[in-house]
Amino acid sequence: MNEIILCKYGEIALKGLNKSTFESMMVQSIKRRLRNCGQFRITKAQSTLYIEPLNEDCDVDEMVDKLSKIFGIVKICRCCILEKDMNEILTKSLGYIEDEMETARTFKVDAKRSDKKFPLKSPEICREMGGAILERFPHLKVDVHNPDVTVTVEIREQKAYVHAGQIDGAGGIPVGSSGKAMLLLSGGIDSPVAGYMMARRGAVIDAIHFEAPPYTSERAKMKVEKLAKLMTAYCGDIKFHCVPFTEIQETLRDNCPEELFTILMRRLMMEIAQRIAQAEDVQALVTGESLGQVASQTMYAMVCTDAACRMPVFRPCVGMDKSEIVEIARKINTFETSILPYEDCCTVFTPKHPKTRPTVEEVEAAQSSYDFEPLLQKAVSETQSYIIKND
């Protein structure tokens, strides 16, 4: 039976004059993300996008899975397409919704009749459909307040659609509607979650990763690329920048007070990230920091890090507990990769007793005791940038 997928959007429906811009961003995202799913047509009406597979090659399961990761979509319904004839609706739709009805105990019918010329009114459609369902699935009872399944009959301009329930979409607003952010992506649990959260609010994500070979291995870098790849299911293609950081770290180790090593390293990371961000027309930096999680994430340390920044630094995980971050990491499928035991440059040369209350003055004084400028320029010029594609 022919199927169509209805994607309902929530927040963007409220954006007034910008609505059509948001809608076209969603349509663009959908076209890009579903490009390997066969031919389909997208139409829009009443805060809903209709995605109609056009040939047998279309894998509707895969389409629904991909759509469930596109920000801006709040609900997804998979419907069968029928002629606008009540008899046909009653005879053909029941087989389509059979699985849902067999496992439910209670149901109700909802009718949406946007074609006011259809001979039956909504309450009549509900009554007829409800009767037919009870006859075919005698174990069911009607519950209009808290049903296990809601069967929806939609009478639209061209056709009628029937579905038994909707799944949650990814929520948020379309990627591309809020500017571009540079995510500092480590191999850990937190930074992929931070990137996901910013993309959910419409940011295009670039990722920057610092590596320190030979202290960090090729496999550690491949793990981070894998994380970026997993993130593309939600963020779309990600431009990835890999920065050689070894020389800067060794120089810091040899020339700066040990207890300030981590905070100085983080300031230099931010400096490089900003230079690349500026060249890429990126407006803000994003990290996976969470307040108080480790010594470099106390408020004092964050103040010292931010003092080295000329653009906003967003930390969407800042107020979250680790368990909450882990929950999202599992949901977006990055957790299992994040916990693979490869080293990160942040764990190279870490001091035994990092200072948890550094001041901007002492940190700036320590940093200016050595001229890092040539090393910064070299790291930027040797950075490798490439696109990690969503497939």
Tokens 């010292």 label which residue?
304
Strand ranges for 212-366 from DSSP E:
238-244, 284-286, 313-314
Among candidates 195, 192, 114, 196, which has minimal Cα distance to 158? 114
- Phi/psi of residue 382, each to 5°? -95, 5
Among 249, 287, 383, 390, binds ligand ATP (CB under 6 A): 287
Among 289, 298, 302, 372, binds ligand ATP (CB under 6 A): 289
Among 169, 188, 202, 236, binds ligand ATP (CB under 6 A): 188
Contact flag: residue 184 with ligand ATP (CB under 6 A): yes
Contact map string, positions 170 to 199, toward Mg ion, x by CB under 5 A = ----------------x-x-----------
User: Got the DSSP string for 49-73?
Assistant: EEEEE-STT--HHHHHHHHTTSTTE
Give the end-to-end CA distance of the chain in Å, rounded to a whole number. 28
* Minimum CB–partner distance for residue 187 and Mg ion (Å): 7
Among 152, 249, 274, 296, binds ligand ATP (CB under 6 A): 296
Among candidates 374, 364, 195, which has minimal Cα distance to 267? 364
Does residue 382 contact residue 244 with C-beta atoms inside 8 Å?
yes
Among 29, 93, 152, 191, binds ligand ATP (CB under 6 A): 191
Subset of residues 232 to 251 that bind ligand ATP, contact rule: CB under 6 A: none
Does residue 201 contact residue 224 with C-beta atoms inside 8 Å?
no
Of the CA atoms within 13 Å of residue 61, those in its CB half-sphere come to: 0
- Distance CA(110)–CA(59), nearest Å, equals 28
Given the complex with ligand ATP, which of 151 and 242 has the nearer CB atom? 242
* Minimum CB–partner distance for residue 10 and ligand ATP (Å): 29
Tokens 């994040």 label which residue?
338
Subset of residues 329 to 388 that bind Mg ion, contact rule: CB under 5 A: 344
Does residue 113 contact residue 125 with C-beta atoms inside 8 Å?
yes
- Phi/psi of residue 113, each to 5°? -120, 85
Q: Which of ligand ATP, Mg ion, none sits in contact with 329, Cβ below 5 to 8 A by type?
A: none
Given the complex with ligand ATP, which of 93 and 249 has the nearer CB atom? 249
Contact map string, positions 205 to 224, toward ligand ATP, x by CB under 6 A = ---xxx--------------
Among 288, 316, 354, 358, binds ligand ATP (CB under 6 A): 288
- Distance CA(262)–CA(85), nearest Å, equals 70
Contact flag: residue 216 with Mg ion (CB under 5 A): no
* Minimum CB–partner distance for residue 347 and Mg ion (Å): 8
Q: Which of Mg ion, ligand ATP, none sits in contact with 345, Cβ below 5 to 8 A by type?
A: ligand ATP
Among 90, 189, 230, 263, binds ligand ATP (CB under 6 A): 189
**Number of chain positions touching ligand ATP (CB under 6 A):** 19
User: Got the DSSP string for 216-243?
Assistant: S-HHHHHHHHHHHHHHHHHH-SEEEEEE
Given the complex with ligand ATP, which of 274 and 296 has the nearer CB atom? 296
Subset of residues 40 to 69 that bind ligand ATP, contact rule: CB under 6 A: none
Provide the greatest CA pair distance for the chain: 84
Among 29, 152, 177, 186, binds ligand ATP (CB under 6 A): 186
Subset of residues 125 to 144 that bind ligand ATP, contact rule: CB under 6 A: none
Q: Which of ligand ATP, Mg ion, none sits in contact with 175, Cβ below 5 to 8 A by type?
A: none
* Minimum CB–partner distance for residue 209 and ligand ATP (Å): 4
* Minimum CB–partner distance for residue 18 and ligand ATP (Å): 31
Given the complex with ligand ATP, which of 129 and 273 has the nearer CB atom? 273
Stretch that binds ligand ATP, among 8-16, 115-123, 340-348, 373-381 (CB under 6 A): 340-348
Q: Tell me the torsion sign for CA atoms 235, 334, 389, 377.
A: positive
- Phi/psi of residue 141, each to 5°? -125, 155
Residue 18 CA: distances (Å) to CA of 7, 15, 23, 45: 19, 5, 9, 16
By CB under 5 A, name the binding residues for Mg ion: 186, 188, 344
Q: Which residues bind ligand ATP (CB under 6 A)?
A: 184-186, 188-191, 208-210, 287-289, 293-294, 296, 344-346
